[in-house]
Chains A and B, each alone.
Chain A
Amino acid sequence: MTPSVIVRPIDAVPPAARRAMIAVQRREAWSAYALLAPYLVAFLAFMVVPSSYGLFLSFTDFRLGIAHPHWTGLSNFAYVLTDPLFRTTVTNTIVFVLESTPALIVIPLALAVVLNQRLPFRAFFRGAFFLPFTLSVTVVSICWWWLLDPNFGPVYFYLKELGLHPRSWISTPALAMAAVVIATVWWTAGYNMVLFLAGLQEIPFHLYEAARIDGAGGWRQFWTVTLPLLRPTTLFVIVIQLIASFQVFGQVYVMTNGGPGNGTRTVIQYVYETAFVQLQMSEGAAAAWVLFVMILAFSLAQFKLLSGHTEY
């Protein structure tokens, strides 16, 4: 078998033209780098450098006030992986991911499809659904905490008026998690909706016309045109949603503080408390990297399952 030679198009053009093309390509590359630079600097300074340093710390016995930490191998990872509390937080996090991700795909998709129609006040509704996302997590969590307060909140008040006597969500782990999921969906659905709206607007209109001529109704068009052609957007939304859901922290910290009885304690809270409350810095760093590997594995699995070319 002869080794195959990759022939790039540029090899086939005459030398003078080739030089000109290379010059243009270089210029374009440089301007691309220049445009990316501000983000790249921030990304390096606030993401790559600290997380690499965290990776280094996770192999040491680092503590605050210790200038020269010692290499301790995998001991921090062993500490985290054998911690029953860590396993509880992994389970809770997966429960949160499984409860929140489907809702945060289906609801924003439905909103996007509806708000992609010619409706009165369309811009207003788009804005209204996106608005919660601009609030801080503390504001959102405190609002929902008050809304859902079993003693004073309107939700429990009206449920009682209806003759129902629901259990207090504060003292029921499954309901506490549900409350966190509801607050999260309300808070972030608008962002995914915007992504879906952008995806919907990329679908060529003539495909819908063709489908209509073939006699397809609204549902049929949705299933055979919209959904397949939205696949790249859907994949993107699922992956970023999964990553976001795995990192749930603020809502839980404010609404339940991990309770009742560790019922809503998530991995990020474990990382935070291990490192910054109990001051076991290197163990916290190790836990963070375990979470990173988990998220990476889930994201790769998603790509494998859902990717593929979209045919127009």
Chain B
Amino acid sequence: MPRRRFLRIFGASTAAVAGGLWRTARRSAAVPANLTLAFWNGLTGPDGRVMEGIVADFMSQHPTIKIEQQQLPWTDFHTKMLMSIPAGQAPDVAIMHTYEKPRYVQSGALTEFSDADLQALGFQQKDFAPRAWDGGIYQGKRYSVPLDIHAMCLYINNPLFKSANLWVDNEPKAPRNQAEFLAACQALTKGDHWGVAWLQRGVGWAFQMLLWQNGGDMFDAQGEPTLDSPAAIEAMQFIQDLNKKYHVTPEGITGNPAEAFQTGKIGMAVHGDWLTPAFVAANMDFTVVPAPTFFKQRAVWAGSHQFYLPVQRRPDSAKREAALVFIKWISEHSLAWAQGGHIPARTALTATPGFRARKQAVLLTDGSYWHFMPAVPKILVEESLITAAQEQIFLGRATPKEALRSLNDQIKRARI
């Protein structure tokens, strides 16, 4: 590019950026009647599109409140959030889970919901699923209010179950324990088709569920990791055995089990209910059932999306009020949110025929077994390292015991 043209383009873009900055600076000082709320979340799956629709409906009914939504993958989302809040660039409303609170509270990034706020929202404990309601509280303070619950389940490919003779009385013979699960896997594994693909990219939620079912936990009461316990090793050994001993999962790291399930390569998937809309959109013939109990006790991995109000450099009461209006409206309309595969946190909504008609409605029976990820500071280290530890095992570079021991050491030595 000739230098002069480069300079011209460079100059023009600098002026454009400066102009943009000047305009935003002016806009934030503008009239309070029409205001804009920045709304950030990590809903990048099919549920993200459902949220877009809900936000559009909200704006059409509230012409004075404009919502600017930003969606980015959870890992990048948290980095951006944690850097933006101290820089005075915090969003007005955010959706996160329950277990991330320690990292935000430690850095003083969250505002509390006062009793007055809860009153403005009209939120009362009795209206919400207990686990979701309690998940908003950390160290005795309420930092978030619930939107939904999302739980792990078992996805069944109906045609593959039929051809494997796993079909009785017009419904799939859903495995409920380890033995039945293995038998189903073996019946489904034929040639290029497999029983299951284990969740390998992601944060190891399925492994966590097995750990809880086996009576173990990820952290002790002091928040130190206990991932090298016999219960954890046994759970991880089971995942490895699916491949190395029973040969019911594809070889190597398959990348995306959701894709493998959707293309009919695997007969079952142990995954989150949020994949439901993708499979529905693909016109799949499938069934959702509660996740099996692989070990000695029932426990189901679950989480909850919650609304947060981050700390603002210049607190603006009009914006906060508008944010509460927004949260209240979405919560009241969260039956629409169930299209995203989730379970509304409002118990009145889960009793409606509209929700009962959804595939994930069968998961409500698990309510008392829902197990959330613990809100301890070191969980973020666990999250960032568990995938690599699992992959080491799948690559045959480490035994479950070795991989879990080094993962545990790694989390233990972290200084947070």
Q: Could you tell me which A residues sit within 8 Å of B by CB distance?
A: 63-65, 79, 83-85, 151, 167-168, 170-173, 257-263, 265, 273, 276-280, 283
Per-residue interface assignment for chain B, residues 380 to 416, with 1 indicating a CB less than 8 Å from any chain A CB and 0 otherwise: 1100110111011011010000000010001001111
Enumerate B164-220 residues with CB–CB distance to A below 8 Å: none
Per-residue interface assignment for chain B, residues 59 to 88, with 1 indicating a CB less than 8 Å from any chain A CB and 0 otherwise: 000000000000000010011001100100
A selection of 7 A-B contacts at a CB cut-off of 8 Å is A64-B82, A79-B415, A277-B75, A278-B416, A279-B416, A280-B414, A283-B415
* Chain B residue with the shortest CB-CB distance to A265: B388
- Does B391 lie within 8 Å of A276, measured CB to CB? no
Instruction: State in angstroms the CA–CA spacing of A63 and B107 once bound together.
Output: 7
State the 8 A-B residue pairs at the shortest beta-carbon distance, nearest first.
A65-B107, A171-B252, A64-B107, A261-B391, A171-B253, A261-B392, A65-B108, A260-B391
- Does A259 lie within 8 Å of B416, measured CB to CB? no
Q: Which of B79, B384, B413 contacts A79 (CB 8 A)?
A: B413
* Chain A residue with the shortest CB-CB distance to B381: A278
- Does B406 lie within 8 Å of A259, measured CB to CB? no
**Residue in A64, A258, A265, A276 whose Cβ sees the most chain B Cβ within 10 Å:** A64
CB-CB under 8 A from B384, the residues of chain A are: 273, 277-278
- Does A280 lie within 8 Å of B395, measured CB to CB? no
CB-CB under 8 A from A168, the residues of chain B are: 252-253
Instruction: State in angstroms the CA–CA spacing of A170 and B254 once bound together.
Output: 8
Q: Which of B78, B86, B413 contacts A277 (CB 8 A)?
A: B78
- Does A65 lie within 8 Å of B380, measured CB to CB? no
Instruction: State in angstroms the CA–CA spacing of A277 and B395 once bound together.
Output: 25
- Does A262 lie within 8 Å of B388, measured CB to CB? yes
CB-CB under 8 A from B96, the residues of chain A are: none
CB-CB under 8 A from B395, the residues of chain A are: 171, 173, 260-261, 263
- Does A170 lie within 8 Å of B415, measured CB to CB? no
**Residue in A79, A168, A262, A279 whose Cβ sees the most chain B Cβ within 10 Å:** A279
* Chain B residue with the shortest CB-CB distance to A72: B415
- Does A258 lie within 8 Å of B75, measured CB to CB? no
* Chain A residue with the shortest CB-CB distance to B411: A278
Q: Within 8 Å of chain A (Cβ to Cβ): is B358?
A: no
CB-CB under 8 A from A83, the residues of chain B are: 410, 413
- Does B253 lie within 8 Å of A64, measured CB to CB? no
CB-CB under 8 A from B86, the residues of chain A are: 64-65
Q: Within 8 Å of chain A (Cβ to Cβ): is B231?
A: no
- Does B82 lie within 8 Å of A276, measured CB to CB? yes
